[in-house]
A and B are shown apart, each in its own frame.
Chain A
Amino acid sequence: RKEVEQDPGPFNVPEGATVAFNCTYSNSASQSFFWYRQDCRKEPKLLMSVYSSGNEDGRFTAQLNRASQYISLLIRDSKLSDSATYLCVVNSFSGGYNKLIFGAGTRLAVHP
């Protein structure tokens, strides 16, 4: 089983739609959670951190469910510029080192 699992998509949605992605993780000891965005043939960039109480940044809302070990990302009022791959990222502490585990990503395509 992968440590971080995501639906690869693609999610094809019209502009203005609301879309949600989920991600599950296997390490119950994980403490830090993030969503990164990766545009085609570009490097990943941090979109937002995910806090236990949930957090919102404009049109983006991230939620964490520790009991079920999943993280979600909700995008409201989708824009064409939201088209990208969204990577779910979870920390893992092993061997004395705190590292990040990246999911394979969920692809979003927003169309006019």
Chain B
Amino acid sequence: NAGVTQTPKFQVLKTGQSMTLQCAQDMNHNSMYWYRQDPGMGLRLIYYSASEGTTDKGEVPNGYNVSRLNKREFSLRLESAAPSQTSVYFCASSEAQGTASYEQYFGPGTRLTVT
């Protein structure tokens, strides 16, 4: 049981390049999330997927797109990377919305630098 996995662990991009961050969970969770973490700002929600087939914008969606490929996988795409997108990106998953247990399980993160 691997939990939540993310690839790649590290990435350096030049401004304007594109890339896709991959995330997969094996806990049969319905909800999945993408966050970014910057110093002094806490985790900020980029996009979420409450269930397979749905995606919605979070707090900071500009410059990103997502795909909920199936129940297990939720990818984050940067179409044209900018230095402001330099950050640590975390994927997370949780059981269905509205349940008493709302713990989110996080992947190990992707450290992205845009030069």
Contact = CB atoms under 8 A, between A and B. Distances in A.
Interface of A: 2, 4, 8, 32, 34, 41-46, 49, 87, 91, 95, 97-100, 102-105
5 contacts: A32-B102, A43-B107, A43-B108, A87-B42, A102-B42
A44 B42 contact: no
Given A46-B104, A99-B58, 15 more contacts: A4-B42, A44-B43, A44-B106, A45-B106, A49-B103, A95-B56, A97-B48, A97-B97, A98-B97, A98-B98, A102-B35, A102-B42, A103-B42, A104-B41, A105-B42
Nearest to B3: A43
Contact of A42 (B42, B43, B48, B108): B108
Interface residues of B, number: 21
Q: In terms of DSSP, what is the predominant structure of the interface of chain B?
A: loop
A97 B90 contact: no
B50 interface: yes
Interface in B52-106: 56, 58, 90, 97-98, 102-104, 106
